[in-house]
Structure 1
Amino acid sequence: MADGECIIEVEGLYTRFGSHVVHEDINLCVRRGEVLGLVGGSGSGKTALMRQMLGLETPAQGKVRFSGLPLHGQDRKKLQYMRNRCGVLFQKGALFSALSVYDNIALPMRELRTLDEDIIRRLVMLKLKMVDIDTRHATKMPAELSGGMIKRIALARAMALDPELLFLDEPTAGLDPQLSDAFVKLIQGMRHELPLTIVMATHDLDTLVALSDRVAVLAEQRMVALGTLQEVINAKHPFITSFFCGERGKRILENNRGILQG
């Protein structure tokens, strides 16, 4: 469980695309060691907020700090060093279609230009085993893979540089319930073994309940709730009511009552 230290701090953040306002005055501390779930309706800016936490986009106003250091305005070398401490699992995996499984995972290691190919080979095979993929699949191309395998291999690539901060964008989207459950268990196992902090954007309530220590809710350009799942459910807001308290939400929460009470 997180100890309260902020690994990511967001202060007074505003996001605009032309005249379209996405975020207004977002303030957030991602605590070291926690899984923070980001939820919100379509267009609420979950992915945009994660991109700003990675330094891939610059907010119109406000600050983002990574381990106490400003993320924006850094020179290219320092920014890349910070990014190398982060891993990202994109929504659809985003594997490079022209590269094999092996080369997709090896790519972040090769970009460091400090590791020889023998070490890279051993590390790639280790990352495949970490996500329960047999190493015989290393030569396959993305087009030959199932949706579940793509997610796992994309996760192996995200973990290539042993990041301390992992971003998951809709990690179980497109997976059937069995594969989704297996992927959640994989994340839970990795979290038990590794000193990871995770920021996860998801619309899947099962995944949110299973993995999140705290939840941040984005609606109406603002963060309308932040806290444990139970605290968020008790907050009074129309989006929270519709998301958590509909028929499906009530069923999921009832099935996970032990998690909520624990």
Structure 2
Amino acid sequence: MTNGNYVIAVEGLYTRFGTHVVHEDINLCVRRGEVLTLVGGSGSGKTALIRQMLGLETPAQGTVRIFGEPVHGRRHEQLQYMRNRCGVLFQKGALFSALSVYDNIALPMRELRTLDEDMIRNLVMLKLKMVEIDTKHAIRMPAELSGGMIKRIALARAMALDPELLFLDEPTAGLDPELSDGFVKLIQTLRTELTLTIVMATHDVETLVALSDRVAALDEQRMVALGTLREVINTKHPFITKFFCGERGKKILENNRNNL
């Protein structure tokens, strides 16, 4: 997996927490400019795999490379430089409750220690406009925001340093259908305009169908399918059948059959 078109390459990855095994021999790559979606049941290790890719957890065995460089075993400065090229939208947004909208978005910029406050202010306002939030909301606190606004502002923070690689952990969880559709369209627009590479974890079939180029399915510590949506759906495995062939899944796939 040394091809220059791979932004991420995971080889022979094992993840353990004490005696609890999360991943066994995970192998996958993420191609430049694609959206790769991780699916799996609760506890299947989707978020843990994202944390491995970011260097927030150390694997028991195996390697993870981002931008061609190993993630683990690097000096803090090297790892931080790599992370600065990535953006992360955490579950539920994870905005800092004691910071305003403005300060949440400004935080990654201030940590660089290379931008003055006038530049930071201009960039924060630009990021708010990018996610279609009126700049008048910059002074508000997270507790004053709706769920949809929290997601968009968290996305603005994830985009603060103009990342090449974006991680989305359950991006539409907790949103009603209308807000979810709007958020998916926003991600589609940003992906096209900014040529982003995206790794997304989701349990929502509709979000998966709308955004994914390829899908990686995790079950019982292993990756049980990897490929296009059509290829994954045609994989004979109990998790695949349960995930895609329930009543809602079949309806969504039927409505999108021309795109499969």
Do the two structures share a fold, i.e. TM-score over 0.5?
A: yes
Q: Which amino acid aligns with 1:103?
A: D
- 2 CA distance for matches of 1:258 and 1:135? 39
Instruction: Summarize deviations over 1:56-108 as a string: whole Å, max 9, x none.
Output: 11111100011111110010100000000000000100000000000000000
Q: What is residue 199 of structure 1 aligned with on the other side?
A: 199
- Secondary structure of the 2:22 match is strand
| CA deviation profile, 1:141-182 (whole Å, cap 9, x unmatched) | 000000000000000000000000000000000000000000
Secondary structure of the structure 2 residue equivalent to 1:235: coil
Deviation of 1:248 after TM superposition, in Å, equals 1.1
Distance 1:68 1:153 in 2: 30
8 Å CA contact 2:4, 2:68 repeated in 1 = no
Residue of structure 2 equivalent to 1:234: 234
> Counterpart of 1:95 in structure 2: which amino acid?
L
Counterpart in 2 of 1:170?
A: 170
One-letter identity of the residue aligned with 1:77: E
Q: What does 1:1-262 correspond to in 2, within 5 Å?
A: 5-260=5-260
Q: Distance in 2 between matches of 1:189 and 1:11?
A: 31
Distance in 1 separating the partners of 2:68 and 2:172: 31
Letter in 2 for 1:10: V
8 Å CA contact retained: 2:35, 2:211: yes
**Could you say what the CA RMSD is over the residues aligned between the two structures, in angstroms?**
0.9
Gaps of 5+ in 1: none
TM-score of the superposition, structure 2-length normalised? 0.98
Report if aligned partners of 2:101, 2:139 keep a CA contact under 8 Å in 1.
yes
Q: What is the count of residue pairs matched by the alignment?
A: 258
Unpaired runs of 5+ residues, structure 2, are: none
1:121 Cα deviation (Å)? 0.2
Answer yes or no: is the 8 Å Cα contact 2:105–2:160 preserved in 1: yes
Cα 1:4–1:251 shift into 2, 3 Å:
farther
| Runs of 4+ residues over 6 Å off in structure 1 | none
AA partner of residue 243 (structure 2): F
TM-score by length of 1: 0.97
SS, match of residue 82 in structure 1: helix
Displacement of 1:4 after TM fit? 7.8
CA distance in 1, matches of 2:119, 2:76: 27
Give the Cα–Cα distance (whole angstroms) in 2 for the partners of residues 67 and 136 of structure 1: 37
Per-residue CA distance 1:13-40 (angstroms, 9 max, x = gap)? 0000110101000001011100000000
Instruction: Describe the SS at the equivalent of 2:58.
Output: coil
SS at match of 1:223: strand
**Residue 215 of structure 1 aligns to which amino acid in structure 2?**
V
CA distance in 2, matches of 1:70, 1:178: 40
Letter in 2 for 1:24: E
**Structure 1 residues 4 and 231: CA distance shift in structure 2, 3 A:** farther
Amino acid at match of 2:6: C
Identity of aligned residues (%): 84
CA distance in 2, matches of 1:97, 1:69: 34
For 2:5 and 2:120, how far apart are their aligned partners in 1? 33
